[in-house]
A and B are shown apart, each in its own frame.
Chain A
Amino acid sequence: MAEAAGASVDSRPRLAPGVRLHFDKTRNAWMLLAPERVIEMEGPANEILRRCDGMRSAARIVDELSVLYGVDRATIEGDVNAMLTELSTKRLIVR
């Protein structure tokens, strides 16, 4: 996957076309809505996705989650990048 391999800390991930993050009042939960798919977003996945706005870089997302969860950057960076790669493979974000 050329796109995923080439993604760097400078990439600015954003939701893919046809993908929306939606707060569902009836379930009191954030839901990721995509073609024929509904994914309930919890915890870190939700925090990462909400920051995929095409403005923040991947590096900044790592910074912000590091602060949010009070863990050092090195600990969380691998997890964030793995999540971004997975979301990209599933065509839920582009970067």
Chain B
Amino acid sequence: MSITQTAAATASGSTVIHQPLGLLAELTHRCPLACPYCSNPLELDGRARELDTATWVRVFQQAAAIGVLQVHLSGGEPASRRDLVELAGAAHDAGLYTNLITSAIGLDSKRLVALREAGLDHVQLSIQDIESEQADRIAGYAGAHIRKLAFARQVVELGFALTINTVIHRANIGNVSALVAMSADLGAGRLEVAHAQYHGWALQNRAALMPTKDQVFLAMDEVERLREEYADRLVIDLVVSDYYASRPKPCMGGWARRSLNVTPTGRVLPCHAAETIPGLEFWSVRDHDLADIWLRSPAFQAFRGTDWMREPCRSCELREIDFGGCRCQALAIAGDAREADPACSLSPHHARMHELAEQAQADPAQRGQPVGYNYRGRAPA
């Protein structure tokens, strides 16, 4: 079955169904780290319910058949899966550009060499900060930072392209310049400077993570300057902070338009936070072919295209540019997933976004004090 052939028959009204480009494969929620901004849901899937190897292999083959070109092996920590090398090989054999998103913990050099041989194309490594003490405190794991630096060098020595990803928040926002220098020294070709996105765990920790407006704008100017300075060595991609923005991000490049996300237990989501929206019906790869899920599952159809939009999105000239922004944020702050993302200055809830940011970073319990995190997957302190 091909998406292009079936699109006309299954699309509702004038909504065009595009072919997906990317698949985020959350192989497991298990992770040695406990970062307070983790993008995994608050309720983590246990090991016993994880998809087995054969099912993942089938998912990769089905993904390639509907037009997916890139697969991101992620988690949790994907190295927590003993069959990681086999899974990377299967993704490669299916014709997918295969990217590993890892914390480096639990991935020794022997397995890294095996991943290279299996056809892995690219490694993306998370780094929490520029020096061990604070980086390990953010990750909730002693010794992580040193291990990551050694891993980055191994990755580059093996001839992989390396991306470093750092989530930016109050504790490390002053270190952007040093972070860029460190990434270049490690031999990374690309750096993602990603401001924390306040869903799930990050939303739980908003008061501990939120930087001030001045810090955010200073860091953004810094990134612009560094992009030019490092233009011949390092591509720097910036994921901006919604809370001080005036336009929403085109979340996921549009709902059910470019990518899909398979959870450790096999549920297929239009974005990793989609399960926070009540009433959406997600289908599983255990019961359905991926093509069927992409074309027909209720969760994918819910916000596909522009028919679902309300004002100010419905008549907005930018509706096919930003697709109304993030549905999860609309729900969390505007109270309904069909509203415009309140990051947009046209949203009646836009001012609320700034208020929440101000409140979070002005929380008297946090001001001037060491930040206490509610670590992912651990009992609150």
CB distance A26 to B67 under 8 Å?
A: yes
Q: Is A8 an interface residue (CB 8 A)?
A: no
- Write out the residue numbers on chain B whose beta carbons fall within 8 Å of the beta carbon of A19: 161
Given contacts A17-B161, A26-B67, contact A35 B190 (CB under 8 A): yes
Q: Is B61 an interface residue (CB 8 A)?
A: no
Q: Is A68 an interface residue (CB 8 A)?
A: no
- Write out the residue numbers on chain B whose beta carbons fall within 8 Å of the beta carbon of A36: 70, 99, 163, 190, 237
CA–CA, A27 and B121, complex, Å:
21
Chain A residue, CB-CB nearest to B234: A91
Count how many chain A residues have C-beta atoms less than 8 Å from C-beta atoms of the other chain. Answer: 22
Count how many chain B residues have C-beta atoms less than 8 Å from C-beta atoms of the other chain. Answer: 28
Report how many A-B pairs have Cβ atoms within 8 Å: 61
Q: Is B2 an interface residue (CB 8 A)?
A: yes
Residues of B6-56 contacting chain A, CB below 8 A: 19, 21-22
Given contacts A19-B161, A26-B3, contact A35 B69 (CB under 8 A): no
Given contacts A22-B95, A27-B19, contact A33 B235 (CB under 8 A): no
Given contacts A3-B232, A26-B65, A89-B231, contact A35 B159 (CB under 8 A): no
CB distance B19 to A33 under 8 Å?
A: no
Q: Is B97 an interface residue (CB 8 A)?
A: yes
Interface string of A1-43 (1 = CB under 8 A from B): 1111000000000001111101010110001011110100000
CB distance B121 to A20 under 8 Å?
A: yes
Residues of A48-95 contacting chain B, CB below 8 A: 89-91
Q: Is B66 an interface residue (CB 8 A)?
A: yes
Given contacts A1-B232, A18-B189, A91-B189, contact A35 B163 (CB under 8 A): yes
CB distance A17 to B189 under 8 Å?
A: yes
- Write out the residue numbers on chain A whose beta carbons fall within 8 Å of the beta carbon of B69: 22, 24, 31, 33, 38
CB distance B21 to A38 under 8 Å?
A: yes
Q: Is B160 an interface residue (CB 8 A)?
A: yes
Given contacts A1-B231, A2-B232, A35-B189, contact A26 B163 (CB under 8 A): no
A interface residues with partner B (beta carbon < 8 Å): 1-4, 16-20, 22, 24, 26-27, 31, 33-36, 38, 89-91
Closest 7 pairs between A and B when the two form their complex, measured CB to CB: A18-B161, A33-B97, A26-B67, A17-B161, A18-B122, A1-B232, A35-B122
